[in-house]
Amino acid sequence: MSITSAMYSAVSGLTAQSKALASISSNIANSSTTGFKGTVTEFTSYINKTTTVDEQVGGVIASNSRSISSQGEIETSSVTTNLAVNGEGFFVVSDDTADGGTYFTRNGSFSADSDGYLVNSEGYYLSGWKLDDSGNVSAGNKTSVDSLESINLSNIKGTPKATSTLGIEANLPSDAETGDSFTSDVEMFDALGNSHSVTMTWSKTADNTWSVDAANPVSSNDGTTTTGTISGFPITIEFNDDGSLAGATQNGTAVDPSAIAFSVTGWTTGAADSSVSMDLGTADGIDGLTQYTSGEDEPEIGDWTATKDGYEPGTLTGTTIDSEGVVRATFDNGETRAIYQIPIATFANADGLDSESGTTFTQTYESGSYQLRTAGDGKAGDIEAGSLESSTVELTDEFSRMIVAQQAYSAASKVMTTAQDMLDTLISMKR
């Protein structure tokens, strides 16, 4: 090998180690970047034959590659909308809230911007499937990114819910006289979220036998204005001789005391008619109505508890995200509603993705086509809310690589200076 050939080899070494140092520098700079995937430098030797005998010019080529599929450590975050994927998948993001390009990222540092969109630290908007009132995906084709939209948390309004179930737990005093009556009030909501009060009258008609009737609902605001017509009452209630609930009769027919139906029609608020299932307890049980002595000089209903569903429109108080990527809105009226589901994109070869940045990527031929999955589905992984995936860079490894690169660079430079000395000696011979 000639002196110039040695110099060419040394130059290729200097170039390769410079490229390695650039990779190390980038990794160290991004050691704290959320979701960053570190690069590694691979060295490939090449030999060009210059004759048919044995003189060969050797060198090296360096190439950097990013290990996109590697998993970084997941760390807890105080921001509930920060997300991390514990698995092989990626979040689907866009560079615009509408008609933007599609990208894939592990950087889950999402927070709501001034318009309510979830956007990460690189300015990419999180995409998700919008859910209908039943919590199902609205879009027909879940396999395409066209079924996704940018998640917005600002335009979420609470919706009312009509009362459809009513559960009553109480003790009707066995020491009451036949003919004694007691009243209690329960609240109902119509389909428009208006609150109404229904007065229920409990009358002892015989030993171990009671009758409950209900007055037409009135507005909860003034307590006097009739707002609808109730039907399904009166109901006869019978108890066993041990005080447990025996059964119930409605319109002369025995009914299940845990599922007694009544309705309210003609709401003056314009709301749709209401159908309610009332649970007075299990037959032969003590989980609802009972009949024990009150122990009072003037008997009264004891241990009264009325539980119901239904509510008026509420104000958004916050959002939660579960491990399946379901975004739920919570309201001050107790309502919780699923509004979006965050998909996870997977690839046959994630390392084949093209880097837009250290944390954001685009699909390529080498990566294969994306597949949209729900979190927890196969290799997609789970979503961890209030967490962030840390950089995959390990500083101790980078410092070790830096030492090796520095030594190799110094050695290659020494070849250059030695070759220069040899050339100087050769030139001096002519003199």
pLDDT in tens, 337-391: 899 999 999 999 999 999 888 789 999 999 999 999 999 888 888 999 999 998 8
Tell me how far apart the alpha carbons of residues 281 and 210 are, in angstroms, rounded to a whole number. 15
**Predicted confidence band at 49 (pLDDT cuts at 50, 70, 90)?**
low
What is the pLDDT of the chain when averaged over all its residues?
89
Mean per-residue pLDDT for 183-189? 95
Q: What is the 3-state secondary structure (H, E, C) of 187-247?
A: EEECCCCCEEEEEEEEEEEECCEEEEEECCCEECCCCCCECCEEECCCEEEEECCCCCEEE
Model confidence at 241: pLDDT above 90: yes
Which run of H or of E encompasses 364? none
Model confidence at 173: pLDDT above 70: yes
Fold of 165-308: Tick-borne Encephalitis virus Glycoprotein; domain 1 (2.60.98)
pLDDT for position 51: 54
Mean per-residue pLDDT for 126-139? 89
pLDDT digits (tens, 9 = 90+) for 414-425: 877 887 777 777
pLDDT for position 56: 61
Would you kindly state where each structural domain of the chain is located, as residue ranges? Answer: 3-67+392-430, 74-158+316-389, 165-308
pLDDT for position 52: 53
Q: For residue 373, count CB atoms less than 10 angstroms from its CB and return exposed for 0-12, middle for 13-18, buried for 19 or more.
A: buried
* Portion of the chain with pLDDT greater than 90, in percent: 56
Of 5 and 404, the one with more pLDDT? 404
**Predicted confidence band at 83 (pLDDT cuts at 50, 70, 90)?**
very high
Rg of the chain on CA atoms, in Å: 37
pLDDT for position 398: 79
pLDDT for position 310: 92
pLDDT digits (tens, 9 = 90+) for 274-291: 999 999 999 999 999 999
* Portion of the chain with pLDDT greater than 70, in percent: 97
Model confidence at 50: pLDDT above 60: no
Give the rounded distance of the alpha carbon of 20 from its chain centre. 39
**Predicted confidence band at 431 (pLDDT cuts at 50, 70, 90)?**
low
Mean per-residue pLDDT for 246-259? 94
pLDDT digits (tens, 9 = 90+) for 311-345: 998 888 888 999 899 999 998 888 888 999 999 99
3-state SS assignment for residue 394: coil
Cis peptide upstream of residue 343 (ω within 30 degrees of 0): no
Least confident of 1-10, 44-53, 88-97, 144-153: 44-53
Tell me how far apart the alpha carbons of residues 81 and 119 are, in angstroms, rounded to a whole number. 10
pLDDT for position 424: 77
pLDDT for position 345: 95
**Spatial CA neighbour of 343 closest among 188, 186, 157, 141:** 141
Tell me how far apart the alpha carbons of residues 191 and 194 are, in angstroms, rounded to a whole number. 8
Q: Where are the beta strands (DSSP E) in 280-359?
A: 289-290, 302-308, 316-321, 326-331, 336-341, 343-346, 354-355
**Predicted confidence band at 48 (pLDDT cuts at 50, 70, 90)?**
low
**Predicted confidence band at 158 (pLDDT cuts at 50, 70, 90)?**
confident
Of 165 and 97, the one with more pLDDT? 165
Mean per-residue pLDDT for 203-230? 95
